[in-house]
Structure 1
C-alpha cells in the first residue's frame, strides 16, 4: 500500500466540496536548471520504482509473449529476482531506504503508520480512507506533505539528491513521496483541498533540481499537458509520470539521475492478488513509450542506464470466510487500546500501528512487561512471530509454538553481507541456518532478517513490539483497510521481501542485492566509481 491513498481520500472529499477557482501557481524554474551539465562524461540514470512489481509476473508475462519491453530489457541487461526490500515492506520505509542507503533505524521513517512519542500522536501518511477520516484529514495531510520530508526523515541521513548536489550533478524526482534535496520548490494546495484543512496555499519544500508531485508541483504546467485532474488522482498516476519523463527525454532536459515512481500496479494487486497480469502489461506498454522517446530501445540503452525495481512483493490473502483478518483489538480484549483519532490518555495501555501484514504494538503501561504482551499476541496460530528489544537483545517469539530466539549485533557468526551476530536458542524461529564451526549464518524464508528486524525495532523511540502475520493473513485494527482474497504486504518473508531488479545500459553490478545498498551503487554509476561486487 502506498501513500497515494491520502490523495484518494482527498478526491472523495472533493466530490462533496465546492470547487473554488485556483489561484495562480508560482512559476517553477526546474526546466532551467535540470539538464545535466556533464555532457558525455558518464551515462545518465533513470530509476523507475514500480509499486508491487513481482518477478513471477514478469516471468509469466514473458513466457506468454505479453511483455515485449520487459523481455527486451531482461535480455539486454541484468535481471535479478531476489533484491531484498526494506522492512516493513511498506511505502515510505522502502523509498527512504533506497534514497538514503539506510534501514529505518537510520532514516527514521518506520512505516505508513507509527506512533511518535515525541509528538504524542499517531503518524499516518495515508493508510486507508476510514482510518484517515478518523485520525483527521488535516493532521494526515500535514504529516504527509510537510513533516514527512521536512521533519520525520532524519536530517542526518543524507538522500541521494543531497549527495548528488555535493558532486555538482543534477537530479530529479517524478512523483516520489520521499524527495528531500537542496533546491527550493513550492507545493501548491488546490482550494478544494484547503476546505477541510488548515494547510497553507503554498508550502515551501526542498527537493532535487526537478520535482513533480502530481498537481501539487508540476513544473511542466504551461509547457506539457499532463493528466493531473480529479479523475487522474491529482496526477499521482503512471501516465503522468511517463509523460513527464518522455518530455525531459525529447526536450534534451534529462538530469544525471531521475527517480520515477509508478503507482498504478499496486491497487490492482491489492484487489486481485499477486497473479494479476493486466497491470503489468500496461506497465510494459508505458516502458515501451519511454524507450521510444529516445528513438528506439537500442538508442535508449546507448544513451542512458535504465533501472527498474519493484518495491515490495505481495502475499495472496485468504478470503474473508477463511478468517484472513486478524482482529488485533479482539486479541487484546480487556486491555485499553487506543482508538483511531483519539489522544493517548492516562488510562491508555496499548496503541496499534497496523501496516497490513505487520504492526507496531506500543506499550504505555510500564508495569506490563513486553513479554506478557508478546505472550498474548503470539497465541494466535495466524501470527508468524512477535519481536521486541530487552536488555540489549532482540527477542523473537514464534506464533502458536512459543519457541523463542534471541540475538544481538556483533559476535562470531557472519552472514553473506559481512554482518556479525550472536544468536541464542531456537534459530528456526527466523529460519536461520547456523554453522557454529564455520561461524556462518544463512537466511531462509526471512531475507536479511536480523538486520532488517533490528532496523524496524530501532527506527523510533518508545516501548513497542513488532508483530507479523503468517502468509494468507492480514492484521487489522478498527479502521484498517483490508484486502481479503487479494494481495497484502508489510511483513518480512520472502514473498513480500524479494523483488525484481532490472539494470540495462551498464555491465556494472551491485555489490549486494539489497535495497539498502542501491544508493551506493547508483552513486558509483554516476560518479564513475566502481563498486566491488560479491
Structure 2
C-alpha cells in the first residue's frame, strides 16, 4: 500500500471494513447542507474547481497527448495554461503537500512534518495512515484519533489559516471532497457507519471544523443523493466517490465558489507499476470527460468555471531487485545495537532511536546518549545508498552527501539570493546540493534539488526534537517497522527533482494570473484568481 494520501484513505476504509464485518452497518446520517440558504449559483462570477490527482505526472500527460489519447486533458491544455514542473513541498508526502497547498506555508509554519513523525512531548510516532499496517501496529483508536481529529484540529498549526478559512473570512464559500486537509470555519460531524466504531471511539460522531461543504467518504457527504460509499466501494475513499460528489453538486446547482476535490486512485497504480505506467492517466481523463459532460457543453463549462488540474508530487522508479531497492533501517539499527521505538507504543526509557519513514525520506530521532545525533549522522552518511543527510547545529543547517565526506552548511543571511528571493549564507561544498549560479541576477539554485534551502529548513524546523533527515538515492527507498516498499514500482518522499515536480493546468473564464512556481504558492494563486475573476 503506498505511503501517501491514498494509503491514509485506504487505512481508514480498512478500519471501517473490519468493523462492518463485526457489526451491521447503520445508514449514514446526511449532514445539513450549509449552502442551502446561501446558494449563489445565479452569481455571474465563475466557480473554481480544483482537481488534485494523486501522483499525476507531466511525462505521462505529454506521452499520451502526442498519441491523441487525452481528449479532456487536451481540451483543458488547449484552452488554458500548462506548467509541467511546479515544485512540491518536502517531504513529498500527502499530508505535508496538502498542508502547504492549503495554508501557503512550509512545515516550519504549518507543523505537519510528514505522514509519520515522532511527537516529542507524547514520545510516540504519529502515523496518519500508512496502509493496513497502521491499523494493526498503531491500533484503530490511535489511527482514527490522529487522522480524524489531530491532523486538522490539533496538529495543523492555528497560527496559519487554510484556504477554506481565508475564503470564508472574505465572504466566499468552499467545499472539500476527500481532501485530507480541510480545516475551515464551519462545524461538521463525521458520522461512523456502524455500531462497532461507536464502541471503539466512544461516540458515533466526531465534531470537526471544515469548509461549507465537507465530503469525506462515508463519514460525511456533500449531497443527499446516493453515493458509492459501501464496503465494496472502500467507504467512499476513491475516485468514483469524488466524481459522483462533484456531479451531484453540478446537478443540484450547489457548487460553492471554490471546490477542492481529490482523486486518489492513480497513486496506487504508480507505486505498483512505476511511473512509466499510463493506464491510470487514461482513467483520469475518462472521469474528467464525464465531469465536463455534466455541464452539457465543454465550452460552456469554461465560460462559467475555472478548472485547476494538478498533481502533487513526482514518482521515482524503484529498481526491481529488492535487496538493492530497499534500505533496511531495522537491520542498520540492529547492527549498531540501537533499540528502535516500534509503532503503536510510547518510547521506552531504554529506546535509543525513533525512525519515521516517509517513502524515500525519513526522520531519525536521537532518544538516548547511546545514540547521539553525531553518531547517527555518521552512520547514515556512511551508506552510499543514502542520498542526503541533513541536520541542525548551532544555527546552521548541515547537509552531507551519502557515501562521502562532502558537506555544506547554510542559514538565513545576506550572502546569496535564491531563485525565490530569499537570502542565505552558504559555506562548504556546493556540489552536495548541485548548487549553481543562474541568470543575469546570479541567483543560486539547484536543478537537482529544487528550492532546496527553504524545503529542507521547512522539514527541520517543523517540530521539536533532536533529529536528522535522510533521503534515499533514486531507485531506492527506506524500510523500518514493516513499512511498505515497492521494488519494480515507484515511490516518492525525497528532495530530489524526480520526487518534487508535478504538473498544473489552469483553464477557464476571464484573465488568469501567472501560474505559481511552487505548490506553496497555490493558496495565494487561488485567492488572487478569485479576486481577479470577481472584478472581471
TM-score (norm 2): 0.94
Counterpart for residue 526 of structure 2: 522
Higher alpha-carbon deviation: 419-428 or 504-513: 504-513
- Of 173, 185, 188, the residue aligned with 2:188 is 185
Counterpart for residue 449 of structure 2: 446
Aligned partners of 1:6 and 1:141 also within 8 Å: no
Aligned partners of 1:138 and 1:197 also within 8 Å: yes
- Displacement of 1:478: 2.5
Aligned partners of 2:195 and 2:204 also within 8 Å: no
CA distance in 2, matches of 1:438, 1:219: 49
Secondary structure in 1 matching 2:182: coil
Aligned partners of 2:179 and 2:216 also within 8 Å: yes
Counterpart for residue 292 of structure 1: 293
- Of 18, 21, 27, the residue aligned with 2:22 is 18
Higher alpha-carbon deviation: 428-437 or 331-340: 428-437
CA distance in 2, matches of 1:36, 1:389: 50
Counterpart for residue 5 of structure 1: 10
Counterpart check, 1:164 vs 2:167: yes
Counterpart for residue 263 of structure 2: 262
Aligned partners of 2:28 and 2:193 also within 8 Å: no
Deviations 1:374-430 (A, max 9, x none): 110111111001100110000111000121110111222111211111111011111
Aligned partners of 2:479 and 2:485 also within 8 Å: yes
Aligned partners of 2:251 and 2:294 also within 8 Å: yes
- Displacement of 1:275: 1.0
Counterpart for residue 347 of structure 1: 350
Q: Tell me: CA distance 1:233–1:440, structure 2 relative to 1, closer, same or farther (3 Å).
A: same
CA distance in 2, matches of 1:62, 1:438: 36
- Displacement of 1:434: 4.1
Counterpart for residue 141 of structure 1: 144
Aligned partners of 2:124 and 2:343 also within 8 Å: no
Deviations 1:442-493 (A, max 9, x none): 2221110110010000111111111100111010002101111111011111
CA distance in 1, matches of 2:92, 2:38: 32
Q: Tell me: CA distance 1:263–1:434, structure 2 relative to 1, closer, same or farther (3 Å).
A: same
Counterpart check, 1:278 vs 2:313: no
- Displacement of 1:130: 2.1
Aligned partners of 2:28 and 2:218 also within 8 Å: no
- Displacement of 1:225: 1.7
CA distance in 1, matches of 2:96, 2:17: 26
Aligned partners of 1:131 and 1:479 also within 8 Å: no
CA distance in 2, matches of 1:484, 1:232: 28
Counterpart for residue 395 of structure 1: 398
Counterpart check, 1:108 vs 2:111: yes
- Length, aligned pairs only: 527
Deviations 1:238-270 (A, max 9, x none): 111111112212222111111000001011111
Counterpart check, 1:237 vs 2:242: no
CA distance in 2, matches of 1:24, 1:230: 13
Counterpart check, 1:36 vs 2:36: no
Counterpart for residue 306 of structure 1: 307
Counterpart for residue 212 of structure 1: 215
- Of 483, 502, 511, the residue aligned with 1:499 is 502
Counterpart check, 1:60 vs 2:57: no
Structure 1 unmatched runs, 5+: none
Alignment root-mean-square deviation, CA: 2.1
Secondary structure in 2 matching 1:4: helix
- Displacement of 1:530: 11
Counterpart for residue 379 of structure 1: 382
Deviations 1:316-361 (A, max 9, x none): 0011345211011212221111122232111111000001100000
CA distance in 1, matches of 2:189, 2:146: 16
CA distance in 1, matches of 2:105, 2:533: 20
CA distance in 2, matches of 1:132, 1:426: 44
- Displacement of 1:12: 5.1
Counterpart for residue 45 of structure 1: 48
CA distance in 2, matches of 1:170, 1:12: 33
CA distance in 1, matches of 2:421, 2:232: 49
CA distance in 2, matches of 1:193, 1:306: 40
- Of 509, 512, 532, the residue aligned with 1:508 is 512
Q: Tell me: CA distance 1:486–1:450, structure 2 relative to 1, closer, same or farther (3 Å).
A: same
CA distance in 2, matches of 1:490, 1:196: 36
Counterpart for residue 411 of structure 1: 414
Deviations 1:6-28 (A, max 9, x none): 2243255247x323241662642
Secondary structure in 1 matching 2:425: strand
Aligned partners of 1:417 and 1:512 also within 8 Å: no
- Of 176, 180, 192, the residue aligned with 1:173 is 176
Counterpart for residue 98 of structure 2: 95
Secondary structure in 2 matching 1:401: coil
Counterpart check, 1:83 vs 2:86: yes
Q: Tell me: CA distance 1:507–1:529, structure 2 relative to 1, closer, same or farther (3 Å).
A: closer
CA distance in 2, matches of 1:11, 1:441: 49
